[in-house]
Amino acid sequence: MSTVLTVNAGSASLHLAYLRDGTVTDRLDLSGSPGSEEVGRAVTEFVARHDRPDAVGHRLVHGGDVLRAPARVDDATRAALEPLAELAPLHLPPALALLDRLRAGLPDVPHVVCPDTAFHADLPDAAATYPLPAEWRRRWGLRRYGFHGLSYAYATRRAARLLDRPVAELRLVLAHLGGGASVCAVREGRSVDTSMGFTPLDGIPMSRRSGAVDPGMLLWLLDGRLDREELADGLYHQSGLLGLADGRSDDTRDLVAAAPDDPAAALALRVYAHQVRREIAAAATSLDRVDALVFTGEIGWDQPEVRYDICAGLGPLGVPLPVGGNRASDGPVSPPGAAIPVLVVEPREEMQLAEETLRVLDAVPASASGRGLRVPAPSAGIANPDAYGV
């Protein structure tokens, strides 16, 4: 019997959970910057109330080319992760600060980092390669990395159980909709396309992040209109649903309630649904068929109005209108017998974190910590169904 402490640092939230043999025994959910002293003290107090875990698993949003698979952390691994912080400035600095805090507080416990990007490490070249100068791509590792991998790995496995079909037979389009958001096409348990790219700023609009916008427009703004800091702040903190709603709210629950009387809130929801539909349709073209559309993430799981509006434009793909609202458990929200079932799956990244953490420790002896750096290569099957338990 093993107890794993999972650490999931988002851009403005932190979720800690103790799992014993796959069951959550206690959890702590905090809002605010995971790197703040206030949150740090709450983490220290929470850990102090529990017995020493057998392992700690840390979600790492971006592994870049440095970390292509979950790996046990030693000093060399930790040092190698530092340069990645600028690729995900909202996520990685606080996550690495928490890693340092917990390694110091639990020095005799093995720590494992599980990058979200690992699930997408086997993306086909056509999906992963940017049409940029080859020298740029070689020099700086410019490629589509993809994110939300822990969520997609769990949701894929869960959807297979709900459909009572082997993962190896399934073609799925999944939408992780939350504070961050993306879409992913999964064939036989492998990611074959995804909407986020080199950083978690790409793709569909998010709560406060812009998602994909015309790069020519950004160059135009930088030409004497905005400086780099202003542009970065606007793209990361003032855009997305918040920007669309003219600063009123970045929460779809508020926007849904306000939409009948607030044109800005209504516009925000229309743009969001339109962009998500476009990405779902694009992802479907990477599959030879679609066996199910799966919604996960806080919005995907808990906002039926948004799901309905997204599905309302997917008739050409054969996706039906949902008939179910919020659910107390995972399952279909589409009509019985739908050709393409629409499923909702509660986001449970802590389950995937715990599973991957224990798998790494079972496979890698203590003397080989850090072995996950740059290995295995993508051809070794990082995102294969067995490696991810899907």
Residues 243 and 358 reside in one and the same domain: no
Residue 382 reports pLDDT greater than 70: no
Domain containing residue 42: CATH number: 3.30.420.40
> What is the Cα–Cα distance from 174 to 153, expressed in whole angstroms?
10
Q: What is the mean pLDDT of residues 146-165?
A: 97
The chain-wide mean pLDDT, for the chain, equals: 91
Place of tokens 């917990």: 102
CA–CA distance, 210 with 128 (Å, rounded to integer): 21
- Would you say 187 and 171 are in contact if contact means Cβ atoms under 8 Å apart? yes
120-140 average pLDDT score? 97
In a domain, 389, yes or no: no
Is the pLDDT at 353 greater than 70? The verdict is yes
Is residue 1 very low, low, confident or very high in pLDDT (cuts 50, 70, 90)? low
The span from the CA of 332 to the CA of 319, in Å, is 12
| Cα-only R_g, the chain | 20
**Same domain flag for 131 and 162:** no
Q: Do the Cβ atoms of 389 and 93 come closer than 8 Å?
A: no
Q: What domain range includes position 275?
A: 149-344
Lowest mean pLDDT among 134-143, 216-225, 322-331: 322-331
Query: Is residue 335 a part of any domain in this protein?
Result: yes
With respect to residue 122, please indicate whether it lies within any of the assigned structural domains.
yes
Q: Do 192 and 265 sit in the same domain of this protein?
A: yes
Beta bridge partners of 31: 13
Percentage of residues of the chain with pLDDT beyond 70: 92
The share of the chain scoring above pLDDT 90, in percent, equals 82
Asked whether the predicted pLDDT for residue 202 surpasses 60, the reply is yes
| Whether residue 355 is found in the same domain as residue 334 | no
359 lies in the same domain as 375? yes
Give the tokens for residue 55.
């392992």
* Gap between the Cα atoms of 96 and 105, Å rounded: 14
Residues 37 and 156 in one domain: no
269: left (phi over 0), alpha (psi -120 to 50) or beta: alpha
Would 328 be classed as within a structural domain?
yes
Phi and psi at residue 224, to the nearest 5°: 90, 0
For residue 338, give both structure tokens. 């739908």
> Both 323 and 278 in a single domain?
yes
> Looking at the structure, do residues 202 and 303 belong to the same domain, yes or no?
yes
Q: Please check whether residue 224 lies inside any domain of the structure.
A: yes
Residue in this structure with the two tokens 């993962």, named with its chain if needed: 167
Into how many domains does the chain fold?
2
Query: Would 302 be classed as within a structural domain?
Result: yes
Specify if 388 maps to a domain. no
Distance of CA 15 to the CA centre of its chain: 14
Instruction: Render pLDDT for 24-48 as a digit per residue (tens, 0 to 9).
Output: 999 999 987 787 888 888 999 999 9
pLDDT in tens, 248-283: 999 999 999 999 999 999 999 999 999 999 999 999
> Average pLDDT for residues 365-378, to the nearest whole number?
36
- The pTM for the full model equals 0.90
Q: Please give the helix or strand (H or E) that residue 278 lies within, else none.
A: helix 263-284
Whether 70 shows a pLDDT value over 70: the answer reads yes
Token representation of residue 277 = 């539909």
pLDDT of 366 over the 50 cut = no
Q: For this structure, is 116 an active site residue? A: yes
- Residues 138, 115 share a domain: yes
Catalytic residue among 26, 75, 116, 223: 116
Q: Give yes or no: residues 81 and 174 share one domain.
A: no
Q: How confident is the model at residue 218 (pLDDT cuts 50, 70, 90)?
A: very high
Residue 387 forms part of a structural domain: no
Same domain, 159 and 306: yes
Do 244 and 375 lie in one domain? The reply is: no
